Amino acid sequence: MQDIKISESSPNIVWACAQGYFLYKSTDGGNSFTKITAVRDSIYSVVSGAVDLTSDKNDIVIYPNPFENAVSIQINLKRSEKVSLGIFNATGQKVKTIIDNILLVKGIYKYDTDFSSVPAGIYYAVLINDNSTTIKKMIQIR
């Protein structure tokens, strides 16, 4: 296991990530685990930290935030569905497309993004799926 996270809402729920691609869940405090997902595409990787999978809403985690030239964008999908993830500036113009209407399985995905060619400022990560839109503010400093 590369990473283990105990749920903040229930100490019996434990998440474990193996080799960056396999996510496991335990509901008995870590005595036994069930495989939740396996990612096959090298474009993205499953990670186990920073979000609580017990919530029923999709989530975006930005780290570090504020950032300089590079940032990690982590999304938590509650169900398998087609999603788009874009980065917009403060005036609403799209500056980067991370995911463009791709079917992803339920799970947690991490995208490392280079911002070295983008001016410092305030940006928004926007996750769009069939039922909702999730927005998270990002601040680039230099």
In CATH, what number is assigned to the domain containing residue 98?
2.60.40.1930
In a domain, 52, yes or no: no
22 pLDDT higher than 70: no
Q: What are the CB-based long-range contacts (under 8 Å, 24+) for 112-121?
A: 112/70, 112/71, 112/72, 113/70, 113/71, 113/72, 113/73, 113/87, 114/69, 114/70, 115/67, 115/68, 115/69, 115/70, 115/71, 115/140, 116/69, 116/70, 121/89, 121/90
Query: Do 66 and 136 belong to one domain?
Result: yes
Query: Do 68 and 122 belong to one domain?
Result: yes
In a domain, 34, yes or no: yes
Model pLDDT, residue 75: 92
Query: Do 75 and 132 belong to one domain?
Result: yes
Model pLDDT, residue 142: 75
Query: Do 117 and 64 belong to one domain?
Result: yes
Q: What is the pLDDT of residues 62-74, one digit of tens each?
A: 999 889 999 999 9
Query: Do 131 and 74 belong to one domain?
Result: yes
CA distance 35 to 23: 6
Query: Do 9 and 63 belong to one domain?
Result: no
Distance between alpha carbon 42 and the CA centroid of its chain, in Å? 15
Q: What is the pLDDT of residues 24-45, one digit of tens each?
A: 788 898 888 887 655 433 333 3
Query: Do 66 and 9 belong to one domain?
Result: no
In a domain, 48, yes or no: no
Query: Do 117 and 63 belong to one domain?
Result: yes
In a domain, 67, yes or no: yes
Do you know the residue count of the chain?
142
Mean pLDDT across 107-117: 90
Structural domains of the chain, count: 2
Return the higher-pLDDT residue of 54 and 35.
35
Mean pLDDT computed over every residue of the chain: 79
Model pLDDT, residue 100: 92
Q: What is the pLDDT of residues 94-109, one digit of tens each?
A: 999 999 998 888 888 9
In a domain, 103, yes or no: yes
In a domain, 49, yes or no: no
With a CB cutoff of 8 Å and minimum separation 6, the contacts of 137 are 62, 65, 122, 123, 124
Reported as a pLDDT band with limits 50, 70 and 90, residue 21 is: low
In a domain, 53, yes or no: no
In a domain, 54, yes or no: no
Q: 68-97 burial by CB neighbour count: b if 16+ within 10 A, else e?
A: eeebbbbbbbbeeeebebbbbeeeeeeebe
52 pLDDT higher than 60: no
Domain containing 10 equals 3-38
Its pTM stands at 0.61
